[in-house]
Structure 1
Amino acid sequence: MFVAPERTAERKAFYQRIDRENLTPLWEVLGELVPPRPRTPCVPALWRYETVRAHLMEAGRLITAREAERRVLVLENPGLRGASATTHSLYAGL
């Protein structure tokens, strides 16, 4: 089992010294970088072609090619609102 490192004055001073060299101690952040179980704001999502196609056709009527160089509807994960992303590492658009 993981035990959090003590935060002594000596260690804090050490961390300040290495920070000036753009170094950071992995043992202080490993729990966040590699959690025991995956954590993601992404949620399962499904985009049905019949529904999306209707919106694509409407967008094509409403927005001209002059107004938008790319007339694309992004498949945006509901857990990543505002990020224009399907997952943390995937962008998809139609």
Structure 2
Amino acid sequence: MIHIPLAEQPPLLERIAAWLRPGGWFLVVMGHHAWTGIDKDWLGGGTAMWWSQADADTNRAWITRAGLTVLHEEFVPEGDTGHVLFWARRS
């Protein structure tokens, strides 16, 4: 999700929720802090990488609004910051 434009993330979460059967699981990595930007030399390989992410509270709200229940979340450190791994389930 962190490489999809912010405006497209809530509608995508709704589509994903619709694809799941009742009781189906959804595992997703999303942003911990809001940030949108480009690393022009990602991993030193000369290739640009783009991110667009909301903060954890917003992501949790989007997942819930899509019709999923967040059952667990975990901070995944990366460098000076990190992401959140959400385990959600369709009701």
Provide the TM-score with structure 2 as the length reference: 0.29
Indicate the structure with greater strand content: 2
Greater relative contact order structure (CA < 8 Å, 6+ sep): 2
Larger Rg: 1
Please give the TM-score of this superposition, normalised by the length of structure 1: 0.29
Relative to its length, the structure with more helix (as a share) is 1
